[in-house]
Structure 1
Amino acid sequence: MSKIRYIFNTLLKAIKFSLFAIKFLCKIISKIFESILEKLRFSITFKITVAYVLTFLTVFFLMSGTILISFKYYIDNGINGDYLSILGTILIVCNITGLVIIAVIGARASKKFLSPVDTMTKTVKEISINALDKRLDVKGSKNELKDLAKTFNEMLDRIEISVEQQNQFVSDASHELRTPISVIQGYANLLDRWGKDDKEVLQESISSIKSEAENMKELVEKLLFLARSDKHTQKIEKQPFMMDELIEEILRETKLIDISHHIESDYNEKFTLFADRKLVKEALRIFIDNSIKYTPEEGTIKVDSYVKSTTAVVTIGDTGIGISENDLPNIFNRFYRADKSRTKSSGGTGLGLSIAKWIIENHNGKIDVWSKIDIGTVIRIELPLR
């Protein structure tokens, strides 16, 4: 019995030493392992698997060494007995100890690798429509969670920009609608007080109300167009048509409604364009109307068209007041007016160029603008023939 007790005491001392050595080596291996993974990109699954494998190998080699040392000790000291029983006891103790060590270290490794999930969950819970500026911050090695956080942050950036644009759009639309409504209300009150008996007041009020109602109708139609385009429900019905005929039609209509400018065309090449004729005409009309608004009387507005390779090119040039370099990058923004001092009657709603840009871009075309103050502006539109 004393020999068996001595064997077990020796074995327990060896196990304690092994556990201490395992703990010390695990810390070293963990630091080395983490430093390597910080610099390399591995999946979380791979990291956890490697952690388990390294833990198992560490336990296996240490336990194997302990068993060999113990047996060598028994043999050197000539200890006899039931070696199978002793071996079974040692293996059972070693396996149980190894299992506990692997479970503890594996759980810690898994918790460490998956800890960013808790951070992400807490941050996501704090995000709301009034707190869209929060972003996920997953520090540590590069892995799937880092990619997920980056993708989520990019999505939040797009949502925040979209919400800001929507709020700005609603604010600008409300501001634009407030003016005609106030004018109509003012003239209605004027009619109520004096217009019933004063024909001049009656006529002035009726004319102003009709004008403001027309402006409001135009604004609402443009807002609806942009709303449909934002929702991707604006229909584009493409079909082949003669571009030169469309240009001639626009020039003819423009000359009928505007007699204070010189409307010209040096060359109008004959070719077929596959596009939505109605929308293309609307876009060209917007650019021409813009030139009319900002070109002094007796000024020249020139519309030309030709084919370059597989692209239709339309240029609209004027001898107007021009656009400053500061305003030029913003002219296609909604509700933007280059000249803040101009009234709405001359400056429009600030939506026309946004609509024209949408039409051209949704025909896979592009717009280039050149302009100099007091010299004029040239709009160059390119559209694919098909």
Structure 2
Amino acid sequence: MFDEKQKQLKNRIRRIKLSTRITLSNVVLFTILISISMYFVTLLTNQFLYFKNREDLQTTQLKIQELLYSEKDTLSAMSPDNRIPHIFRLLEDYYIFDNYKTLVTLFDTNGKTSYPLNKDVYDLLILDQFKINPNTVNFNVTFNKDILQGKEILTFELFKKLNASETIKYKDVSLLVPTRGEAPFISESSIMGFEVMYTVVRIDIGDDYSLLASVFIYPDLDQDFLLSLNSALLVSAIIGILFLSIFAKFFTRKALKPLVDLSKIAQGVDNKILNYRIPPTESHDEIDTLIKSLNTMLENLEGSFENQKRFVSDASHELRIPLTIVLGYIDLLKTMGTGNEALLKESLDAIELEATHMKNMVEKLLTLARLENNRIKVTYEEIAVSEFFKKGLEECVRLYPLYHFKTELNFDGLLYIDLEIMTQIFRALVENAVKYSLEDTTITFKSEQRNQYIALSLIDQGRGIAKESIPNLTNRFYRLNEDRNRRTGGSGLGLSIVDALIKAHGGHMRIESEVGKGTSITLFVPKRKTL
């Protein structure tokens, strides 16, 4: 069921136009990138603000510590009741209180406290930072000592108002205070669900009096800044997505227009106008590369169609002649009867000859078809060049006694060939050489090494071939001068098959000829087996 639904979804997506799919993909990708960017911006900004707040708190701590220790002698000479107001006035001169995220209180072990404003106003300020309704809660600070653990603590107490004269404590928060002689430290704590950084600076005057200054920074107040930042990023992202949705489709359609035009042109191409070529853009981009590739494909198709038409024409022509001869003799026998033994024998011999000719032609065409479809299996074996030539010469001397044959072994190493196929190749080449050479001439078998190939050549002293005709010799049914005479009995397929067979070996063929002097056909066979 799931696979079926997934298949249906894919089919629906495929029905959407390519330009729309590209636009949607861009919008989705842009949205994902913006989301990831917002996440990392928020994360990095949070980290930056955290370390910035800690640095600010440490700077304030050092200022207060430096101030308190510089005033220690002055404080020692003062009355305890005047010490906190004195330090408070100095802190005002340092602008310690001019920070909306920083709250400072001064207190001593005698229970005296001081605030940057009067107590009621300061209570309102602190309670507002913690989102507490100041009309129902009172705020108080006390200094205590934990007898069990030997630690001194600063306690913030919240009292809930029951009526005009009665209150009840419902919340307190304890913070560690440096003990006598201990250096100030920065800590973190949670107060009413808010994360705060704090430090307490302590100066001891005598054995029974200490003055303490507590400093709080509320990192959570930065959430307003982060919210504003994220809101700005979100609005920018929405605007960006809207612009992308509007303009991306326009630019996508414009970018795909060459492909649309290309599709229309391709639809109009058929086998009657394969000579048409799509004009390249010369922009050297992907579209230009595609156009050039399609033009190359059209050239190959045109060549294939031309070869196919020529093949059909040539095959029809080659088969029509023997069939015409056969039908002619049959009509002759029907007309003249079979009583004339000489005529009957002539007719049967002619019919047999033409049938054999057609059989050989069909076999050669099948061989070419198998080669083109890679259905010829090449079985490699090892044989010495001299041994291969020896077998060939023995056969040639027996079949063509009116010709002379010799070998030139400039290389007598090992060949890695399919012996049956290579023998078939040389038979075809010798047959051509004999066919176009005069009797009592010499046909030479030659071998030599050329780079990574072994060159096997067959050289005759025949009438030769014009240079302009050489490139066409491996074309099917090609005959010199295009006269298609049947004097030599050839089908025009021999060299086509030879060329295909040597290529199946991983080699190639080269033809050199000069009119009146003869022809040299060289087969280049790889030294090692082609896998």
User: Which residue, out of 478, 492, 496, partners 1:354?
Assistant: 496
Amino acid in the other structure paired with 1:385: K
1:183 aligns with 2:319: no
- The alpha-carbon distance between structure 1 residues 250 and 195, as it changes in their structure 2 partners (threshold 3 A), is farther
Match of 1:157 among 276, 299, 303: 299
TM-score normalised over the length of structure 1: 0.69
Q: Which amino acid aligns with 1:242?
A: A
Q: 141-150 or 163-172: which moved more?
A: 141-150
C-alpha distance in 1, partners of 2:268/2:483?
44
User: Are 1:291 and 2:433 counterparts?
Assistant: yes
Is 1:276–2:395 an aligned residue pair?
A: no
| Letter of the 1:116 counterpart | P
Contact 1:293 1:347 in 2 (8 A): no
Are residues 1:365 and 2:507 paired? Answer: yes
CA contact (8 A) 2:371 2:504 kept: no
Does the residue aligned with 1:153 lie in a helix, a strand or coil? helix
CA–CA distance in structure 2, aligned partners of residues 98 and 378 of structure 1: 74
Gaps of at least 5 residues in structure 1 are 1-43, 53-90
Distance 2:524 2:256 in 1: 52
Q: Does the aligned pair in 1 maintain the 2:386–2:409 contact within 8 Å?
A: no
Q: Indicate the residue corresponding to 1:301 in structure 2.
A: 443
Partner of 1:78: none
Q: Report the residue type matching 2:342 in the other structure.
A: E
> Matches of 1:297 and 1:195 in 2, distance apart?
41
Same amino acid, percent of matched pairs: 33
Q: Deviations over 1:271-311 (max 9, x none)?
A: 33111111111111111111101111222212233455653
Tell me by how many angstroms 1:222 deviates: 0.7
Give the drift of 1:169.
Answer: 1.2
Q: Distance in 1 between matches of 2:237 and 2:397?
A: 97
Please show how residues 224-239 of structure 1 align to structure 2 within 5 Å.
224-239=366-381
Letter in 1 for 2:268: E
Q: 1:272 to 1:140 in 2, by over 3 A?
A: closer
2:286 corresponds to which residue?
Answer: 144
Following the alignment from structure 1 to structure 2, what is the Cα–Cα distance between the partners of residues 96 and 376?
Answer: 83
Decide whether the 8 Å contact of 1:366 with 1:383 is kept in 2: yes
SS of residue in 1 equivalent to 2:439? coil
- Please give the alpha-carbon distance, in whole angstroms, between the structure 2 residues aligned to 1:357 and 1:156: 25
Structure-1 residue corresponding to 2:18? none
Contact 1:271 1:307 in 2 (8 A): no
Q: Is the 8 A contact 1:240 1:272 kept in 2?
A: yes
Q: 1:264 aligns with which of 392, 402, 406?
A: 406
> Do the aligned partners of residues 362 and 192 (structure 1) sit closer, same or farther apart at CA in structure 2, a change above 3 Å counting?
same
Q: Which amino acid is 2:401 matched to?
A: I
Structure-2 residue corresponding to 1:212: 354
- Tell whether the 8 Å contact from 1:244 to 1:268 is kept in structure 2 after alignment: no
- Report SS of the residue matched to 1:181: helix
3-state SS of paired residue (1:235): coil
Report the residue type matching 1:231 in the other structure.
N
Q: Does the 8 Å CA contact 1:323/1:377 hold for their aligned counterparts? A: yes
When residues 183 and 134 of structure 1 are mapped into structure 2, their CA distance, relative to the original with a 3 A threshold, is same
Matched to 1:329, the amino acid is P
Alignment coverage as a number of residue pairs: 304
Partner amino acid, structure 1, of 2:464: G
1:301-320 to 2 correspondences below 5 Å: 301-307=443-449, 311-320=453-462
1:8-19 alignment runs, 5 A limit = none
> Counterparts of 1:176 and 1:383 in 2: how far apart (Å)?
32
User: Normalized per residue, which structure has more helix?
Assistant: 1
Q: 1:297 to 1:139 in 2, by over 3 A?
A: closer
| 2:517 maps to which of 372, 375, 381 | 375
Q: Equivalent of 1:249, from 391, 401, 420?
A: 391
Letter in 2 for 1:148: L
Is it true that 1:166 corresponds to 2:305 in the alignment? no
| CA-CA distance at 1:128 after TM superposition | 2.9
Question: In structure 1, what residue type is equivalent to 2:479?
Answer: R
Alignment-mate amino acid for residue 216 of structure 1: M
User: C-alpha deviations, 1:139-174, integer Å up to 9, x for none?
Assistant: 485433333333233222222221221221121111
Residues 303/119 of structure 1: CA separation in 2 closer, same or farther (3 Å cut): same
Structure 1 Cα separation of the partners of residues 367 and 262 of structure 2: 39
2:475 is matched with 333
Distance in 2 of aligned mates of 1:237 and 1:269 = 23
Q: Secondary structure at the match of 2:305?
A: helix
Q: Distance in 2 between matches of 1:303 and 1:218?
A: 26
Residue of structure 2 equivalent to 1:117:
259
Residue 126 of structure 1 corresponds to which residue in structure 2?
268
Contact kept in structure 2, 1:301 and 1:317, CA below 8 Å: yes
Identify the residue that residue 22 of structure 1 maps to in structure 2: none
Moved more, 109-118 or 131-140: 131-140
The SS at the match of 1:377 is strand
* Distance change in 2, residues 1:249/1:104 (3 Å): same
SS in 2 for 1:165: helix
Scaled by the length of structure 2, the TM-score of the pair is: 0.51
Separation in structure 2 between the aligned mates of residue 268 and residue 248 of structure 1, nearest angstrom: 15
What's the C-alpha RMSD, in Å, of the aligned pairs? 3.3
Q: In 2 relative to 1, CA 324–309 (structure 1 residues): closer, same or farther, beyond 3 Å? A: closer
What is aligned with 1:192?
334
Displacement of 1:229 in angstroms is 1.4
Contact 1:320 1:377 in 2 (8 A): yes
Distance 1:301-1:151 versus aligned 2 partners, 3 A rule = same
Identify, as 1 or 2, the structure richer in strand.
2
> 1:230-267: per-residue Cα shift (whole Å, max 9, x none)?
22222222222333223222222222222222223344
Whole-angstrom distance in 2 between the partners of 1:95 and 1:363: 64
- Secondary structure of the residue aligned to 1:228 is helix
